[in-house]
């Protein structure tokens, strides 16, 4: 099928199958799962993922064509965004065939929900300082510790868990990646309320939770390199809006704002032009990264630049909307108030703006790196968690 036909079929499918977002009552997670299964059956879930593991084996061109059509709809796919954008691609890249066979298709069909268990109270930007321990016990590992800010953990069936397996070596060298069953006894999930008033992320506690060794992803003590794979996918997927695409009405977008502000005012027009330029620049940058990926050039640390641009654009939009719509924009539970209070999260989740700048400086611009002592000292000799 040529691209124009593909796009026409995608549009027709979306028109027929995307549920109205104002359907009252019922279980929204069950509805989201039902939608995801239909999306997969129609060939629009995992468009570029390998056919062998349940994907469609198509190219970035089809992926972009579908995303462009989906922009006019609100797809109920948010709860799958961690699986589709981060943990799924990590399993495809770094999992065993048995893990891919077991996990990837159910993830693409929305049968199982995933979360990503990296951050801890003392380990966010510096995630390699994490203290959750996994200790070997025969053909299992026993996990104890705490994670925090874990998006969608309260709905998750599986989690991609980074844990410490060796304290005798420098901190990056003693980590291992696992798949953990979120329903296992000993896993406790406590939702946290964010400033939008909703609970999208959680604290997660592990008390003697066993994980079979076949659920280890990558080699023992090679978890850092697996985590880097996840983080690269995370930054690219956040900037490209994987699982979050298709928000029909972003109330801070140019299209929404131009309907409610005085576009005859030259100062307002100036601001809207600036918004247009920034949005367009990011869209073109993302398109370039996608085309390069298709040509076999992995974007690497430039994904951090895309994520930084998106975080800055999101804050710019929120500030602009507040200035143009007035203080009442942030009152109540309107979609605009929600978008404005959610905006700062983009500058933190997936790595803060400061960390993105450090990565771009270090790995894209080749500027001198920050001085580090923690790459050589064994983890047990670092004063982790006691630093100011
Ligand atoms: C909406 C949202 C969703 C999230 N979802 C998940 C999830 O699903 N799974 C998960 O594991 N985590 C998740 N996180 C956690 C997120 O990855 C961390 O919040 C982030 O990495 C920052 O860590 P921290 O909050 O511990 O801040 P800290 O690392 O303590 O940073 C505090 C401040 O210091 C600055 N800083 C720290 N180090 C440096 C440095 N070297 N140079 C310059 N400045 C520095 C930071 O930029 C920041 O401003 C989520 C966070 C948010 C906001």
Measured distance CA(346)–CA(47) in Å, rounded: 26
Which residue, by CA, sits nearest to atom 2 of ligand 1?
Answer: 349
pLDDT at 246: 47
Closest CA to 86 of 222, 219, 238, 286: 238
Q: Per CATH, which fold does 114-227 belong to?
A: Butyryl-CoA Dehydrogenase, subunit A; domain 2 (2.40.110)
d(CA 19, CA 74): 8
CATH 3.30.1360.30 assigned to domain 3-108? The reply is no
**In the chain, where are the structural domains located?**
3-108, 114-227, 247-351
Residue pLDDT, tens place only, 111-135: 999 999 999 999 999 999 999 999 9
**Helices 223-240 & 266-294, crossing angle to 10 degrees?**
140
Phi, psi of 120 (to 5 degrees): -130, 170
Which among 56, 75, 53 is positioned nearest to 6, based on CA atoms?
A: 56
Q: Identify the residue whose C-alpha is closest to ligand 1 atom 7.
A: 150
Residues with C-beta less than 6 Å from any ligand 1 atom? 82, 115-119, 124-125, 149-151, 201, 345, 348-349, 351-352, 354-355, 358
pLDDT digits (tens, 9 = 90+) for 61-86: 898 889 889 988 889 999 999 999 99
Per-residue pLDDT averaged across 209-227, rounded?
98
Q: Pick the catalytic residue: 69, 112, 120, 234?
A: 234
Q: Which residue has the tokens 């406590």?
A: 190
Rounded mean pLDDT of 207-221?
A: 98
Q: What is the pLDDT of residues 146-156, one digit of tens each?
A: 999 999 999 99
């Amino acid at each position: 099928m040529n691209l124009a036909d593909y796009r026409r079929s995608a549009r027709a499918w979306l028109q027929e199958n995307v549920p109205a977002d104002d359907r009252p009552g019922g279980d929204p997670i069950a509805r989201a799962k039902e939608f995801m299964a239909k999306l997969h059956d129609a060939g629009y879930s995992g468009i570029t993922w390998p056919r062998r593991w349940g994907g469609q084996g198509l190219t970035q061109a089809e992926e972009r064509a579908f995303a462009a059509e989906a922009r006019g709809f609100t797809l109920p796919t948010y709860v799958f965004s961690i699986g589709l954008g981060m943990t799924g691609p990590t399993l495809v890249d770094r999992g065993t065939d048995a893990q891919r066979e077991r996990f990837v298709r159910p993830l693409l069909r929305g049968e199982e929900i995933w979360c990503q268990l990296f951050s801890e109270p003392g380990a966010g930007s510096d995630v390699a300082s994490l203290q959750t321990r996994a200790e070997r016990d025969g053909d299992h590992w026993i996990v104890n510790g705490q994670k925090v800010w874990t998006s969608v953990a309260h709905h998750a069936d599986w989690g991609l868990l980074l844990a410490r397996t060796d304290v005798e070596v420098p901190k990056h060298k003693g980590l291992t990646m696992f798949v953990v069953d979120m329903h296992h006894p000993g896993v406790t999930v406590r939702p946290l309320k964010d400033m939008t008033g909703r609970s999208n992320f959680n604290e997660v506690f592990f008390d003697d939770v066993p994980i079979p060794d076949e659920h280890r992803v990558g080699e023992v003590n090679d978890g850092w390199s697996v985590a880097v794979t996840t983080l690269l996918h995370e930054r690219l997927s956040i900037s490209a809006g994987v699982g979050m695409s298709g928000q029909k009405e972003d109330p801070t977008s140019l299209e929404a704002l131009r309907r409610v502000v005085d576009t005859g005012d030259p100062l307002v027009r100036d601001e809207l032009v600036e918004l247009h330029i920034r949005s367009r620049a990011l869209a073109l940058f993302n398109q370039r990264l996608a085309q390069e990926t298709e040509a076999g050039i992995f974007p690497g640390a430039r994904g951090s630049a895309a994520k930084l641009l998106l975080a800055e654009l999101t804050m710019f939009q929120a500030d602009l909307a507040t200035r143009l719509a007035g203080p009442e924009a942030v009152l109540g539970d309107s979609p605009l108030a929600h978008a404005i209070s959610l905006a700062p999260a983009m500058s933190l989740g997936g790595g803060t703006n400061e960390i993105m700048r450090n990565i771009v400086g270090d790995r894209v611009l080749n500027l001198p790196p920050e001085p580090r002592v923690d790459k050589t000292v064994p983890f047990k000799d670092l004063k982790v968690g006691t630093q100011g």
